[in-house]
Amino acid sequence: MTPLSTTIDALTKRVSDRRPLRAGGLVVTLFGDIVMPRGGLIATQSILDITALLGLAPGLVRTTLSRLTADGMFIRSRAGRNSFYRLSDQALRQYQDASRVIYAASDPAWDGDWLVVIPLPGPAESGGEERLLATLDGLGFSRVGSARIRPGNMDAANRERLDAAMDDWPALLVEGPGNGVVPGLKAMVGHSWDLDALTDGYHQFCRRYEPVAEALREDIPLTEAEALTLRILLIHEFRPLALKDPRLPVEILRSGWRGDLARALCKEIYARIQDPSERWVGGRCLGADGPLSPPDRLTFKRFG
């Protein structure tokens, strides 16, 4: 066993020994990262084969799939004696939004502009204001009084999400330049966005995966199964950090921020293990009509 194999085993054990064990998160990760680029539908047995690499018992995975189906995440179908799963339409939209964040090449550049959204009174009990505020939270806005603010470094897809949310509820959008990086701004940002837990999460991610990157740079061999295991663990641990990250400009963040380093580390490892992991999936996993389709071209453009 190589040192890299030992490290992958330790990473796997860390996740599988976690209590409570959140198998649902691992299943969602493998669907988003592995299954969706190959057509979106996969046989139950293939799910069990993949999750076995992660140390998950078949009974636990079946229970998890049933619960997620009942919750509206998956749709289950049958063909003869075989059963299959795919994402529901609602979960598919969530996957598309999340993928743009998780696999982004880098944070958009900042030109010094700020966005301020002020929700206005609207029809009672419509739920529109709650949907607007939830979208603003997801886009990295912070609350200041009754307003929500963030730097204007948003990519086109997220700007479309903002515009669509504001079409659903009356709100005033103010956009314009600030006063630069003035004294006290970084402290205000750290307080307003509550970045301490996220900062620690990125530190821990880098601590765990920097040795993996170093081993891969030295061309230490790994099997296709190890590559797939590592790929799922990598995205499983990076995904919640990326989705909680407001993607603020590095210019206004306090020293010690490692979000940009964590993304670069994830990108490097992913690129080195993608081909062997895809070979494992292509040679073993089934859809409704036989082997899964080859991954789409966009899969190989993840992280830019």
Using CA atoms, how far apart are residues 271 and 265, in angstroms rounded to an integer? 10
Examine residue 118 and state whether it is found in any structural domain, yes or no: yes
The pair of structure tokens assigned to 243 is 């989705």
Q: Give the domain extent around 170.
A: 113-177
Examine residue 297 and state whether it is found in any structural domain, yes or no: yes
Using CA atoms, how far apart are residues 81 and 144, in angstroms rounded to an integer? 56
Examine residue 144 and state whether it is found in any structural domain, yes or no: yes
Examine residue 88 and state whether it is found in any structural domain, yes or no: yes
The tens place of each residue's pLDDT in the chain, 304 residues long, gives: 788 999 999 999 998 887 767 889 999 999 999 999 999 999 999 999 999 999 999 999 999 999 999 999 999 999 989 999 999 999 998 899 899 899 998 878 899 999 999 999 888 767 788 889 999 999 999 998 889 999 999 888 888 889 988 888 889 999 998 877 888 888 888 888 889 999 999 999 999 999 999 999 999 999 999 999 999 999 999 999 999 999 999 889 988 899 999 999 999 999 999 999 999 999 999 999 999 999 999 999 999 8
Domain-terminating residue out of 177, 194, 212 = 177
Q: How many domains does the chain have?
A: 2
**Do residues 234 and 32 touch, judged by C-beta distance below 8 A?**
no
**What per-residue confidence (pLDDT) applies to 167?**
87
Can you give the CATH number for the domain in which 287 is found?
1.10.10.10
The answer on 36 and 121 residing in a single domain is: no
Using CA atoms, how far apart are residues 294 and 28, in angstroms rounded to an integer? 20
Examine residue 117 and state whether it is found in any structural domain, yes or no: yes
The answer on 121 and 87 residing in a single domain is: no
The answer on 83 and 24 residing in a single domain is: yes
Say if residue 13 is exposed, middle or buried (CB neighbours under 10 Å; 0-12, 13-18, 19+): exposed
CA nearest to 104, candidates 296, 295, 274, 260: 260
